[in-house]
Structure 1
Amino acid sequence: MTYDIFLYLALGAMAGGFINGLAGTGTALFALGFYLVVLQPITAVFIVAFMSVLAGLQGLWIVRAEILSQPKRLLRFLIPGLCGVSLGVMLLDHINAGTLRLAIGGLLIVYGGYFSMRAALPAFERPTPWLDSLVGLLGGILGGTASVSGALPQMWVSLRPWTKSETRAVLQPFNVAILSTTVVVLAFKGAFDATAQTALLVTVPLGLIAAQIGIAVFRRLSDTGFRRLLILLTLAMGLGIMASELF
């Protein structure tokens, strides 16, 4: 492994691990650009998904009480989301994934830009179990077709006046479950090769350390601060999707 490869892998691992520890999402947004410089796309996506799952398991531990206290809320998102992944993969032959990613990117930019400039955040308090399930299903479908499973759930939960731990107790396990499915699928497609194994020797320890730093910062955020962070990440995700498709 050359110094340049090591450097890009290390930077990606630290950036992706930190944001996962901080927000419970966004690993691909911050890490994939580094990995794609030195790895083939399928290997880069595999590494990002694998790292997201490992870092996500640490994040799950800090909100375990909230997950266990409201399991039905999580399952409303998670079960439809897992079903949606299979539907998304089936739709791959009938949908232009690039066009879909552009549309989602535009939606994220409009949403994130609008609420980033508002002094008061939205406060959608009414229970909406059917809408929650629909968002989870659409998130899974978008994960299977365009690799953006967390986009809609992230937008939706940032509208809710939940505590930061309650919000994370939905987003983190949702992302871990969807990305675990992605890891298994990519492994069956041969992504877990010698190159990936070597890259993981660098990315795993650095990513886990960076995730712990992110978790430490998360603990210091207020509930409102965390919601604003998710909205800013939504804007950044939209810009990242648009850039990856247009340039």
Structure 2
Amino acid sequence: MTLDLPVALQIVGGALVAGFIQGMSGFAFALIATSLWVWTIEPQLVVPTVIFGSLLGQAISIHSVRKDIRVERAGPFVIGGVIGVPLGAMLLPLLDVTTFRFAVGSVLVVYCSIVLLGLRLPVFRNPGRLADGAVGLGSGVMGGASAMSGPPLILWVSMRGWSRNEQRATYQAFFITTQIVTIVMYVLTGVINRHSVQLFWLVGPPIVLASWVGSRWYRGLSDARFTRILFVLLLASGATMIGTSALQVVHGLVTR
């Protein structure tokens, strides 16, 4: 696979932007990278490249919260997610992904808009490991079925009364584990091929650099500002889901 210089620069630019935002927030790489790369990378290559980039960025940026990682806190989410990812992948052929994404996106837009307008979040300080595991399972299923595992998990941990470091350490541990499982599945099923690896080499260095810079930026954020950034990104994620779903519906009607 050969890339023209302008195309290669656009891909690298997308990697820098997505890597920085993930380094600062601990998530949203898929949201940003997909929206930027979908115009320059073939659809079959976008998903594995996004998963690889997100995993690489997570591995770099999790260093900023490594002291707050607790197995007893993250464990139920991770176990649920590891079970959920393959289930989501198996459910994918049975789901109407367009309707699914539109529904999830609508909930995110409404909920995050209310929160950003000033409504206080409910706090669940001790809902139990079973509830945490169920959220992890649901997030894993969403990730396997639609490549969007972040929203339910991030919403849930934001209502646990934890500090920003505790929240981030928990969901980043979840993302790293489930993305490793996804990468293994992609290798075994042939989704990752030599063309994917060529793109990995192209996007890897800028992602490492941007994620490191973003994680340094994160250290200067207060808990309140960090929470606001999370909900703005979740709102953008929901709006993106609605927009892409609507475009798919329109495209389907036009091509009939």
Classify the TM-score, shorter chain: over 0.9
SS at match of 2:59: helix
In the alignment of these two chains, the number of paired residues is: 244
Contact preservation (8 Å) 2:97, 2:146: yes
Identity of aligned residues (%): 31
TM-score (normalizing by structure 1): 0.93
Counterparts of residues 18-57 of structure 1 (less than 5 Å): 18-57=20-59
Which position in structure 2 is the counterpart of 1:215?
215
Deviation at 1:171, TM superposition (A): 1.0
Which position in structure 2 is the counterpart of 1:71?
71
Which position in structure 2 is the counterpart of 1:144?
144
Which position in structure 1 is the counterpart of 2:178?
178
Structure 1: which 4+ aligned runs deviate by more than 4 Å?
none
Contact preservation (8 Å) 1:123, 1:161: no
Which position in structure 2 is the counterpart of 1:124?
123
Q: Which runs of 5+ in 2 are unaligned?
A: 248-256
Deviation at 1:20, TM superposition (A): 1.2
For the residues of structure 1 that align with 2:158 and 2:125, how far apart are their CA atoms?
A: 14
Paired letter, 1:122: L
2:9 maps to 1:10 = no
For the residues of structure 1 that align with 2:99 and 2:234, how far apart are their CA atoms?
A: 19
Listed one character per residue, the Cα deviations across residues 82-116 of structure 1 (whole Å, up to 9, x for unaligned) are 10112212222332122111111111111111101
Which position in structure 2 is the counterpart of 1:167?
167
Contact preservation (8 Å) 2:52, 2:183: yes
Paired letter, 1:126: R
Of residues 87-96 and 212-221 in structure 1, the stretch that sits farther from structure 2 once superposed is 87-96
Contact preservation (8 Å) 2:27, 2:172: yes
Of residues 192-201 and 221-230 in structure 1, the stretch that sits farther from structure 2 once superposed is 192-201
Deviation at 1:199, TM superposition (A): 1.8
What RMSD, in angstroms, separates the aligned Cα atoms of the two structures? Answer: 1.5
Contact preservation (8 Å) 1:158, 1:231: no
Contact preservation (8 Å) 1:113, 1:235: yes
Deviation at 1:22, TM superposition (A): 0.7
Deviation at 1:35, TM superposition (A): 1.7
TM-score (normalizing by structure 2): 0.90
Contact preservation (8 Å) 1:102, 1:245: yes
Contact preservation (8 Å) 1:18, 1:213: yes
Paired letter, 2:51: A
Contact preservation (8 Å) 1:87, 1:141: yes
For the residues of structure 2 that align with 1:20 and 1:204, how far apart are their CA atoms?
A: 14
Paired letter, 1:55: G
Paired letter, 2:65: V
For the residues of structure 1 that align with 2:190 and 2:14, how far apart are their CA atoms?
A: 22
Contact preservation (8 Å) 2:125, 2:161: no
Deviation at 1:125, TM superposition (A): 4.4
For the residues of structure 2 that align with 1:189 and 1:149, how far apart are their CA atoms?
A: 21
For the residues of structure 1 that align with 2:24 and 2:18, how far apart are their CA atoms?
A: 10
For the residues of structure 1 that align with 2:7 and 2:181, how far apart are their CA atoms?
A: 27
For the residues of structure 1 that align with 2:158 and 2:120, how far apart are their CA atoms?
A: 9
Q: Which runs of 5+ in 1 are unaligned?
A: none
Listed one character per residue, the Cα deviations across residues 66-87 of structure 1 (whole Å, up to 9, x for unaligned) are 11xx311101111011101122
SS at match of 2:160: coil
